[in-house]
Amino acid sequence: MTVAATAPSLPVTPRPGVGDRLSRMIRLPTVSAELEARGSEPFEDVVALLAELYPLVHANLVRERITDFGLLFRWQGARASEAPLVLMAHYDVVPVDEDDPWTHPPFEGRVADGWVYGRGALDDKGPLAVILEAVENLLAAGFTPARDVYLSFGGNEETYGEAAATIATTLQKRGVVPWLVLDEGGAVVDAPLPFAHGDAAMVGVGEKGVLTVRLTARSEGGHASAPPRLTAVGRIARAVDRLGSRTFHARTPRGITRMLSLFADTAHGPGQLLLRTLATFPRLTARAFALIGGEPAALVRTTVAATMQQGGTAANVLPSQASAVLNLRIALGETVAGTLRRVRRRIGDRSVELTVLEASEPSPESPTDNAQFALITRAVRESYPDAATVPYVMMAATDSRHFHRFCPAVYRFAPLEMTSAQRASIHGVDERVQIASLERGERFHRALLHNLV
């Protein structure tokens, strides 16, 4: 593959104060799961705040409100007829348990010792900020991108809302087929696998599907002193027990094979041999990862977890109905329909009713041998010179999944450094980002836009 030469350097002086601007965003509690309790005011406040913080973006780009929670900006490029770049992020966040021991209040947006603390610092207001920082800085330097650039920001990603889906549908109806879509997902991490040394920019080339199913069983109620052979609760418990770790077959996606191959290039000794062997024999990798369990197993097969249970009103009363909710993450190459069929077969009980609460198909894998992935790699090299750009498969869902039906190059990468502790803080306690990482993230997006051809 021929890679275009890097564009001539552009003198840009980034604005200071990115940490303070992110802090102000964090102070607005845009908790989409608590919309009814908190109201829409925090979301509208974010829209107004972005206009204040990024005046050149709002003066030079065309902004549309798509649904109540979607923001779509269009930056017209030098060749408007070319397929555009779409940069995505979301400005809603997940709830906070008030009993959790945060070092600083989660919506205070505390800036301390070179860090910004608060809910959304990593997921996903930090990544949103560095996109806008890069565009604002490039506009200040008089830059025009080679092709159109869209900024797609949603306010209900965490609740699987319709903002991003409607934005994608709107663009498709207008005949806009993106050349590249880049959303949140991977990050710059240290030693992502045993025996793999150094920093790696993990770029998601695909994401697993999501399927949420409610299992329901009914039986005659009555006094607990004379239970039948199988109660509604027992029937549900048996169904859940039958959905063990071996419910779904394991197989290795191409992106994981490519990931192992690249890691082998930086490994040494026995570790290098192990990684090369796994990269060479995908079936062996699938079996090995499945045996390891945890995240490695989740990379190679569909997972199923019972997350909620309900049934009964008193300790001595048999409930007439019991239920459990299953959350499944569907492996690449499989389907919602096929997954449901397998769940039904494994349960093997027609008295257990299955109700689909939500479903989305897994994405196809985007290639790594094209100009789009090369552009991402080049931007990583300019912002994180010591990091290798490595593909992987995301286990979580992002708003970018809505673009797969009409865009062949969709990737997931937030250009921020994240330690294992930081990654654990996403949806957890003490979410935080280093200001130096925000500055590098701005550099990544600036390089991405500047080198766009």
Concerning whether 92 is annotated as a catalytic residue, the answer is yes
Given its phi and psi angles, is residue 269 left (phi above 0), alpha (psi -120 to 50 degrees) or beta? left
Q: Given 148, 157, 361, 431, which residue is catalytic?
A: 157
- Torsion angle, CA of 142/145/150/152, rounded to 10 degrees? -70
Counting beta carbons within 10 angstroms of the beta carbon of residue 421, is it exposed (0 to 12), middle (13 to 18) or buried (19 or more)? exposed
Concerning whether 20 is annotated as a catalytic residue, the answer is no
d(CA 218, CA 228): 12
Query: In the sheet that 321-330 helps form, which strands lie side by side, from edge to edge?
Result: 303-311, 321-330, 209-218, 353-360
418, containing H or E segment: none
Q: How far apart are the first and last CA of the chain?
A: 15
CA distances from 437 to 9, 145, 383 (A): 22, 24, 10
E-strand ranges in 244-349 read 303-311, 317-318, 321-330
d(CA 69, CA 392): 30
Is-contact 272 261, C-beta < 8 A? no
Is-contact 45 28, C-beta < 8 A? yes
Beta carbons within 8 Å of 272's beta carbon, 6+ residues apart: 195, 264
d(CA 212, CA 368): 31
Residue 259 has which token pair? 């990931």
d(CA 258, CA 247): 26
Q: What is the pLDDT of residues 189-215, one digit of tens each?
A: 997 877 777 899 999 999 999 999 999
Is-contact 302 330, C-beta < 8 A? yes
Q: What does the pLDDT profile of the chain (453 residues) look like in tens digits?
A: 434 444 566 789 999 999 999 999 999 999 999 999 999 999 999 999 999 999 999 999 999 999 999 999 999 999 989 999 999 999 999 999 989 999 999 999 999 999 999 999 999 999 999 999 999 999 999 999 999 999 999 999 999 889 999 999 999 999 999 999 999 999 999 978 777 778 999 999 999 999 999 999 999 888 888 888 899 999 999 999 999 988 999 999 999 999 999 999 888 888 899 999 999 999 999 999 999 888 889 999 999 999 999 999 899 999 999 999 999 999 999 999 999 999 999 999 999 999 999 999 999 999 999 999 999 999 999 999 999 999 999 988 899 999 998 999 999 999 999 999 999 999 999 999 999 999 999 999 999 999 999
Q: Given 92, 183, 417, 442, which residue is catalytic?
A: 92
Strands 199-207 and 388-394: parallel
- Helices and strands (H and E) in the chain: how many: 15, 17
Q: Residue 105 gets which letter from DSSP?
A: -
Counting beta carbons within 10 angstroms of the beta carbon of residue 422, is it exposed (0 to 12), middle (13 to 18) or buried (19 or more)? buried
Domains and CATH numbers, the chain: 18-207+363-450 (3.40.630.10), 210-360 (3.30.70.360)
pTM, two decimal places: 0.91
Q: What is the pLDDT of residues 45-101, one digit of tens each?
A: 999 999 999 999 999 999 999 999 999 999 999 998 999 999 999 999 999 998 999
